Amino acid sequence: MIQFQQVSKKYNDQFVLEDFDISIKDGEFFVLVGPSGSGKTTTLKMINRLIEPTDGDIYFNERRLIDYPLKELRLTIGYVLQQIALFPNLTVAENIELIPELKQWSKAQRRARAEELLEKVSLSPKEYLHRKPAELSGGEQQRIGILRAIAAKPDIILMDEPFSALDPISRGQLQLLIKELHKELATTIVFVTHDMNEALLLGDRICVMKEGKIVQTDTPEAIRNNPANEFVAQFFQQEQSPLASYFAEDLFKAGLLETAHISDGKAVALDTPLSVLIQLLAAGTAVTLVEDGTVLGQITDHTVLRFLETMMEKGDQ
């Protein structure tokens, strides 16, 4: 799908990316993670040609990016930024429908798509279609930003630290949302973050970067269990989950569990951290809550999303 071959980028004889050589698979959730200045955003912006490499080639579907007409290339790519960047003078519907309109979808098709997507992120079309961005919370604005990026069914979605400016509850909610959407849409996602917990939660594979170079690329489990060096090991240990204060017991007390039998999935206890539950769910594992041999219920993606929405309503940040 996307291949970097010996790609480098220099500014004033200073490398910000050097000999970057990697392949991103079709339909993969690929995460670039590393400290500030490691070259993550530069790498991401090269995919939609906001930045051109100094050396090397980048391929998309076995064709060099430089050989694509720029407009054609960018219409196949969705882009979500930390700075939400909705058009303030446009309604929610108009923001979501922007790229479909550029691709000459009919008005009826555009509106149907906007309503469908709003339903997917638990925002009522009747309430939200005609609102302006200023009338939305930060988490709601970022949801609309994600919907705008996926509305025209792009081949690639680029996400540059899209949740880092949000409160912990909104962030956890949107992490689960994008994981669910990826599972449903099977679109290739390239995601930049400096948060190792976020990388572990979301990525099918993770590329750890430092000072413009690749340190390690592997699955979350492999990197967690076998870090390539001390830098990777310490980088993992420094991160703290923003959801660390929540446990399976909180979901149980909120009355959000679904009916389950012990055979339905992996059994967990009441004191299991929410971050662990999310990692299990992200891996496709069915999770059953058990206490003293008694099955209390099943925890699903929707269970956790409803819990986070409840916390948001309560203003629990």
Half-sphere exposure of 212 (CA within 13 A, CB side): 13
Predicted local confidence at residue 115, as pLDDT? 95
| Lowest mean pLDDT across 97-111, 260-274, 276-290 | 260-274
pLDDT top residue among 23 and 195 = 23
CA pair distance 38, 52, nearest whole angstrom: 17
Rounded to 10 degrees, the C-alpha dihedral 81/85/90/95 comes to -10
Predicted local confidence at residue 316, as pLDDT? 46
| Lowest mean pLDDT across 56-60, 162-166, 173-177, 261-265 | 261-265
> Is the pLDDT assigned to residue 289 strictly greater than 90?
no
Confidence at 302, pLDDT banded by 50, 70, 90: confident
Residue 10 pairs in a beta bridge with 15
**Contact yes or no for 8/20 (Cβ under 8 A):** yes
Predicted local confidence at residue 317, as pLDDT? 43
The CATH class of the 248-314 domain is alpha beta
pLDDT tens digits, 177-194: 888 888 888 899 999 998
What share of the chain has pLDDT > 70, as a percent? 93
- Arithmetic mean of pLDDT over the chain: 87
> Is the pLDDT assigned to residue 241 strictly greater than 60?
no
Place of tokens 């939200």: 128
What share of the chain has pLDDT > 90, as a percent? 50
Amino acid (1-letter code) at residue 30: F
Q: According to CATH, where is 3.40.50.300 located in the chain?
A: 2-238
Confidence at 67, pLDDT banded by 50, 70, 90: very high
CA pair distance 55, 15, nearest whole angstrom: 11
Predicted local confidence at residue 296, as pLDDT? 86
Residue 188 pairs in a beta bridge with 156
* Other CB atoms within 10 Å distance of the CB of residue 59: 16
Alpha helices (H) along 80-137: 92-96, 98-102, 107-120, 125-128
Q: According to CATH, where is 3.90.1280 located in the chain?
A: 248-314
| CATH superfamily of the domain spanning 2-238 | P-loop containing nucleotide triphosphate hydrolases (3.40.50.300)
pLDDT tens digits, 203-232: 999 999 999 999 999 998 899 889 999 999
Predicted local confidence at residue 242, as pLDDT? 58
DSSP 8-state symbol, 247: B
> Is the pLDDT assigned to residue 286 strictly greater than 50?
yes
